[in-house]
Structure 1
Amino acid sequence: MAKIVGITIGPIIETISESKKIYEIANASSFFSNIIYEFLCNIETDTYDIITPNFKDSDKCKNNNEKFYPDRVVLKVKDASRKEEEILKEIDGIYQNIVSNEKLIELKDYINFNIIVEELDEENIKKIFEHLDGIELIKNFSNRDEIKDIIKRINRYLENKKTLNKEFDVNFGMDNGNEESGYRAIIALDLDNMGKFSQKKLEETLEISEAVYRYIESLNKFISKKYDKKQEGLVLYSAGDDVLAILNPKHIFEFIEEACNKLNEIFSCFENRDLSVSFGIFICYAKYPIKEAIEKAHSLLFSKAKAIRNTASILIEKHSGQSVEINLENLIDKEEGKFNRNNNYFKYMKNSLSNGKSNSNDEENKERLLNAIVQKVSRDSFIFEAIINNSEKEKMIKSYLSELFDAKLEGKEQLEYLEKLLCSIEDKEKFSKEFRQILSFFRMLKFYVSRGKGEGR
């Protein structure tokens, strides 16, 4: 039997939820991450093995403000004969020394720092997370007025560290790219089927922890990279196997592909063929309340994408109030373990967004055609449904579309997409769902064309 220490800190989600500005959210996340970092720096590795997060002696005493540490820590006590009371006192002592800092003392009562010690077989170490799930239900909640004051205190505590402020320069938007206008994408990401990893030995658990860290770090670097010397994304929260971020909507398809490919690259040495990644992506106008935008991204992730798995659920809510929603399924080819390049919706969208700069007339013609596609195809859905089981449906669909549309050169590609997508519907049972997906695809494509007139993408 091994003595395992589980630690959880919070309330992160509640603090983030009451933050009204982007820089406040990032700072709230950084605040808890910073405490975990200082805690890990003070763990004696002669006494404890750090199982998760991935943390080495070389990480100590570095300026790690750009790195996020999760809200959970798991340690193995090297001397299993030590008494539980002694371990709890020692771990709590490390934490108390951290929060005795003059600037932290006024936040001490707000922080939930929970410690448990369990005796577990080494092959069952991951059961510690079930115990942490239970202990996290017991929290000290503050009223909203107090939380607002807490957020100000957090900002003051971080004022001498590398954090965001009201003047941060990040281009989230698709329009003129500033804080007050344009559209932005809120991304919630989580790995699927993590429980299917073999963790019968402590070494396996440590290897998986390190792989998760490398994977999440690679995504954070992608989100934070610069385009034309300007950053177009920001990580708000990154811990364990999930990420919350803001990104310019132009890059979400590139990000999805990157996340899928990195998953294969980093985890291919493990026996978990069911491993995949799911996304909840909410695209909204810049003045949309950030708290509500985050809630919608999480709802898309956990209510829709995670219900299917290996899926990106994307919702665009326009400034006018109109919305478009689509699910991009089967992102990773389970046989090859790589990004599925045969996903037509993804392939067609990415191709459309990577065609380079177009003149304004071409873009306006494309926008008119896309609008006509949505209107006419939606109007004539009963016709397509009637011929979908016909042995000559490809010929009939091609003929009917040629009657509906007078394709100019700049619209030829979109009509080819339409024809292929309609022909891919296999039978009437699947018609309703897949037809809605097709319409959503063209509404989404129209959104990108209308927002990016004249831009190089």
Structure 2
Amino acid sequence: MKYTAVNIGPIIGTINLARKPCELWSASYLFSFLMECIIKELKAENKMILSPASLDEVQKVGLYPDRVFVEDTEDDELEDILSNALKEFTQVTGIGRDYVNIMYVSVESKTGVDVIKDLNRYLDCTELVNRTFDDKSRMNVLDLIQEKNNSALFKRAFGNPNWNFPFLAEIATDKLSKTGEEDKKVLWMKYRDEEREKENSSENPEKIEDEFYQKIKVAFKEEYRSYYKYICVVQADGDKMGEIVSVLPNKRVKDLSTALMQYGCKVSKMIEEYGGVPIYAGGDDLLFIAPVVSGKDGVENIFQLLSQIDECYRVGVDEEIEKIGRPKDEKGNLIHTTLSYGLSISYYKYPLYEALQSALDLLFGKAKNVAGKNAVAWRLRKHSGSGFTGVFTKDDSAGSVYQLFKLLMTFTVDDGLVSAISHKLRANKDLLNILREANDENRIAAFYDKVMEEGNSGYIELTRRLLCVLMNDCAGDGQVKTGDILSKMYGMLRIAKFINGEGDSDE
């Protein structure tokens, strides 16, 4: 039997054109809509689609991936299907084949074993071929994704071509809109609506947001924190999903695709309830913008949101794989899938496309390189240009780094205590190096009793436990210097302090 895979693009190049949340959403939705058109035509011709599953309702976020896998379709028949799909796509968007790439490859197989793995490999090769676009076609796409007053994509997704898409300051301050004081809620919405009106004018966008924050700081003087000027860009990707898909029978791949589609719909709603904006939730990939903190009960900050998404993925995807039939790896071990994240937290004036690239680099350059994956790599970039970064597995067992880190975020401490702890640890780096080699927690406890000043005793004890765990995790690894461990710990103390709440600062 013949198996075919279709790939569309250029997704990354188009997303890199985006400078605002609405443009980023539009760039992503554009290609998800194209894939929706292709799937619709394939279904009309009664073609057996292995992946992805399809929705019966209009999507409001990018839920379709950039590849579709089909059984038993001849090239000339496929060309007609793709031509009809592109025709519908162009009628809505005005974008044609002078910009979009539609590529396909086929393989013959009697058993169907490894066909998706082979097709993915061939498509990876075709994506290496660069294609140039003339300025006119590029400008047409740019005009489409920048359109706010009469957007064909907004009309398709939301039924309103003038949909009010959240701006960065609105996302960052979402918690203030959920305050218990009704008069302040009304005031926040008033300022938000005023900015939306100004966005359609010729005024400088940066000046408009500055004015918004000036009003917010006056109205919410007691509640205002520095994190209200920061936004999170999150990229997530499933771990070991490729291994699972490559060994599942074709019918089971379709079942898995259905589970992933349902997960994408659920997690998009979670992000919206938190106060964020889902950009893409297709397959096991996820991209969204969110505030650092939220007014949602039980999910108060970005790390708690990641934990909620993890649970949704575990129940909706990994446990579904159990029902489908969990495959084994080459060593005979059952394969489980988890999520890894790249989390970029940056000042609202920081270029969105750079925050997006930062999240991508954190995901694939750090989180995915952690042993066992199931990790989060994060970076906090302050307004001053300084920043902190870190990576750890999401092992949430008692006494783990991740569990201790989340406990840190429950403490309210001042900057002086955080700086004092870091300074004393660095000043005694050589002594700590000796204690690390001795692997004696009692001696580290004695060191703390001797060196650390009076302060929040619970917090200081927690930092001691964290230091011991970080050292134990690197036991026997001479390549990891004690200074590196202290830097990682300081970054965790700083971001925990930041998320717990700092006064307004231009740092």
Q: How far 1:138 sits from its partner (Å)?
A: 3.1
Q: How far 1:41 sits from its partner (Å)?
A: 2.4
Query: Aligned residue for 1:219?
Result: 267
* Superimposed CA distance per residue, residues 88-111 of structure 1 (whole angstroms, 9 cap, x where no aligned partner): 33323322431452x534544211
Matched, 1:168 2:166: yes
Residues of 2 paired with 1:317 and 1:175: CA distance? 21
* Superimposed CA distance per residue, residues 22-65 of structure 1 (whole angstroms, 9 cap, x where no aligned partner): 1101011111112222332232366311111112xxx34x3322
Contact 1:312 1:327 in 2 (8 A): yes
Query: Aligned residue for 1:313?
Result: 377
Query: Aligned residue for 1:13?
Result: 12
Matched, 1:297 2:364: no
Residues of 2 paired with 1:67 and 1:159: CA distance? 12
Query: Aligned residue for 1:336?
Result: none
Query: Aligned residue for 2:215?
Result: none
Q: How far 1:21 sits from its partner (Å)?
A: 1.3
Query: Aligned residue for 1:244?
Result: 287
Residues of 2 paired with 1:398 and 1:320: CA distance? 35
Q: How far 1:404 sits from its partner (Å)?
A: 2.9
Which residue of the other structure, out of 119, 141, 147, is the alignment partner of 2:108?
119
Q: How far 1:249 sits from its partner (Å)?
A: 2.1
* Superimposed CA distance per residue, residues 275-329 of structure 1 (whole angstroms, 9 cap, x where no aligned partner): 2321111111011000111111111111111122221111111111111111112
Higher helix residue share: 2
- Aligned positions of 1:89-238 closer than 5 A: 89-101=79-91, 103-120=92-109, 121-126=111-116, 127-142=118-133, 147-154=138-145, 155=147, 156-161=151-156, 162=158, 168=166, 170-173=170-173, 182-197=229-244, 199-226=247-274, 232-238=275-281
Structure 1 100/354 Cα, relative in aligned 2: closer, same or farther at 3 Å? same
Query: Aligned residue for 2:441?
Result: 394
Q: How far 1:192 sits from its partner (Å)?
A: 1.5
Structure 1 73/442 Cα, relative in aligned 2: closer, same or farther at 3 Å? same
Residues of 2 paired with 1:145 and 1:289: CA distance? 25
Instruction: Find the residue that maps to 1:376 and give its secondary structure.
Output: helix
* Superimposed CA distance per residue, residues 413-454 of structure 1 (whole angstroms, 9 cap, x where no aligned partner): 22111211233324473552433322222122233345378x
Query: Aligned residue for 1:369?
Result: 417
Residues of 2 paired with 1:100 and 1:145: CA distance? 16
Amino acid corresponding to residue 233 of structure 1 in structure 2: G
**Which deviates further from its counterpart, 372-381 or 191-200?**
191-200
Residues of 2 paired with 1:196 and 1:71: CA distance? 19
Structure 1 87/273 Cα, relative in aligned 2: closer, same or farther at 3 Å? same
Q: Give unpaired runs (5+ residues) of structure 2.
A: 178-191, 193-208, 211-227, 294-300, 328-333
Query: Aligned residue for 1:273?
Result: 335
Q: How far 1:274 sits from its partner (Å)?
A: 4.5
Query: Aligned residue for 1:360?
Result: none
Contact 1:189 1:279 in 2 (8 A): yes
Instruction: Find the residue that maps to 2:42 and give its secondary structure.
Output: coil
Query: Aligned residue for 2:390?
Result: 326
Q: How far 1:149 sits from its partner (Å)?
A: 4.1
Higher strand residue share: 1
Instruction: Find the residue that maps to 1:342 and give its secondary structure.
Output: coil
Q: How far 1:372 sits from its partner (Å)?
A: 1.1
Amino acid corresponding to residue 457 of structure 2 in structure 1: K
Matched, 1:71 2:121: no
Amino acid corresponding to residue 47 of structure 1 in structure 2: N
Residues of 2 paired with 1:398 and 1:91: CA distance? 70
Contact 2:344 2:358 in 1 (8 A): yes
Instruction: Find the residue that maps to 2:19 and give its secondary structure.
Output: coil
Structure 1 276/200 Cα, relative in aligned 2: closer, same or farther at 3 Å? closer
- RMSD in angstroms over aligned alpha carbons? 2.9
Amino acid corresponding to residue 260 of structure 1 in structure 2: D
Residues of 2 paired with 1:420 and 1:35: CA distance? 52
Residues of 2 paired with 1:207 and 1:327: CA distance? 33
Query: Aligned residue for 1:358?
Result: none
Q: What is the TM-score when the length of structure 2 is the normalising length?
A: 0.74
Q: How far 1:67 sits from its partner (Å)?
A: 5.2
Contact 1:8 1:73 in 2 (8 A): yes
Amino acid corresponding to residue 422 of structure 1 in structure 2: L
Q: How far 1:200 sits from its partner (Å)?
A: 4.6
Matched, 1:88 2:152: no
Query: Aligned residue for 2:460?
Result: 415
Structure 1 450/224 Cα, relative in aligned 2: closer, same or farther at 3 Å? closer
Q: Give unpaired runs (5+ residues) of structure 1.
A: 227-231, 333-339, 356-362
Matched, 1:257 2:307: yes
Contact 2:63 2:283 in 1 (8 A): no
Contact 2:37 2:89 in 1 (8 A): no
Q: What is the TM-score when the length of structure 1 is the normalising length?
A: 0.82
Residues of 2 paired with 1:40 and 1:298: CA distance? 28
| Aligned length in residues | 418
Amino acid corresponding to residue 380 of structure 2 in structure 1: I
Residues of 1 paired with 2:381 and 2:173: CA distance? 14
Q: How far 1:384 sits from its partner (Å)?
A: 1.3
